[in-house]
């Protein structure tokens, strides 16, 4: 099963400023700063990047404010993890490293979502950029403080929580893997699932990760 996404990405794509006098397009072709991948991303969405050499890279596309998403920010992300490369997680500063794509999937399900997680879409094989990838959707509550305003609701016990509804596509490469992620909420998920599908179906790996060899 193929999936795709439309990212109304920022006004700059591959260094070209695009202006439309009529109706703007739904998506634009985006080339990563490292030149390692291309994909169709939503038009008008902001682009943010952080990375650590060739071991880790994260490109996040952030859409306009929407109260149905946690912190009011719908987003799509493309992450690169080189096999075995350590990376400090931004929220906890705890180091993470993965030696296979399966290691990443297993660790993410266990440590990020925990025993309360439900597989809304069980792990399945799909094709992305001419290679076999793994696709799944996981749902799990995340308790939040009283100050949280957007994307929150009450769980089964009446606690304030974010009902996470996160979709993943994990694409193994030779020296690492890409994780393409749509971190939605239960209520927000339908709003940008088509954009995620368009991103995935249009995703093309140009190199074996940032700084990796060019692919034929």
**Token digits for 37?**
């991948």
Q: What is the model's pLDDT at position 21?
A: 53
**Residues 100-142 pLDDT 10s:** 999 999 999 999 999 889 999 999 999 999 999 999 999 999 8
Strand partners, 52: 56
Most confident of 51-60, 84-93, 194-203: 194-203
CATH of the domain at 191: 3.40.1000.10
In a domain? residue 93: yes
Domain of 172, in residue numbers: 12-205
Q: Which residues sit opposite 54 in a β-bridge? A: none
Average pLDDT, the chain: 88
The pTM of the full predicted model, rounded to 2 decimals, is 0.86
Domain assignment present for residue 4? The answer is no
For residue 17, pLDDT over 80 is answered with no
Residue 1 lies in a domain: no
In a domain, 211, yes or no: no
213 is a domain residue: no
Please state, for a pLDDT cut of 70, what percent of the chain lies above it: 87
- Residues 27-36: pLDDT tens digits? 999 999 999 9
Residue 206 predicted with pLDDT over 80: yes
Whether the per-residue pLDDT at 8 is higher than 70: the answer is: no
Most confident of 4-8, 9-13, 190-194: 190-194
What domain count does the chain have?
A: 1
More confident residue, 12 or 27: 27
Q: Is residue 36 part of a domain?
A: yes
pLDDT band at 79 (very low <50, low <70, confident <90, very high): very high
Higher pLDDT, 25 or 6: 25
Place 94 in a pLDDT band, splitting at 50, 70 and 90: confident
The two beta strands, 131-143 and 160-172, are antiparallel
- As a whole number, mean pLDDT of residues 54-78 equals 96
Q: Nearest to residue 8, comparing CAs of 186, 204, 184, 199?
A: 199
The answer to whether residue 173 sits within a structural domain is yes
Candidate from 61-75, 135-149, 164-178 with smallest mean pLDDT: 135-149
Task: Give CA torsion, residues 95, 99, 102, 106, to 10 deg.
Answer: -30
Residue 160 — very low, low, confident or very high, per pLDDT cuts 50/70/90? confident
Residue 151 lies in a domain: yes
């Amino acid at each position: 099963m193929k999936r795709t996404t439309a990212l109304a990405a920022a006004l700059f794509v591959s260094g070209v400023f695009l202006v439309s006098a009529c109706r703007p397009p739904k998506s634009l072709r985006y080339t990563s700063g490292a030149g390692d991948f291309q994909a169709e991303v939503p038009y008008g969405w902001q682009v943010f990047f952080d990375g650590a050499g060739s071991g880790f890279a994260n490109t996040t596309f952030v859409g306009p404010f929407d109260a149905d998403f946690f912190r009011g920010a719908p987003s799509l992300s493309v992450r690169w993890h080189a096999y075995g490369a350590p990376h400090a997680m931004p929220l906890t500063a705890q180091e993470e490293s993965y030696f296979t794509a399966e290691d990443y999937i297993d660790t993410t399900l266990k440590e990020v979502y925990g025993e309360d997680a439900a597989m809304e879409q069980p792990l399945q094989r799909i094709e992305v950029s001419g290679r076999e990838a793994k696709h799944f959707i996981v749902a799990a509550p995340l308790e939040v403080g009283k100050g949280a305003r957007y994307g929150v609701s009450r769980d089964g016990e009446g606690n304030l929580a974010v009902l996470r509804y996160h979709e993943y596509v994990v694409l193994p490469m030779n020296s690492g893997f890409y994780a393409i992620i749509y971190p939605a909420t239960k209520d927000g998920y339908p709003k940008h699932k088509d954009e995620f599908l368009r991103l995935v179906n249009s995703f093309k790996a140009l190199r074996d990760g940032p700084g990796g060899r060019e692919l034929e």
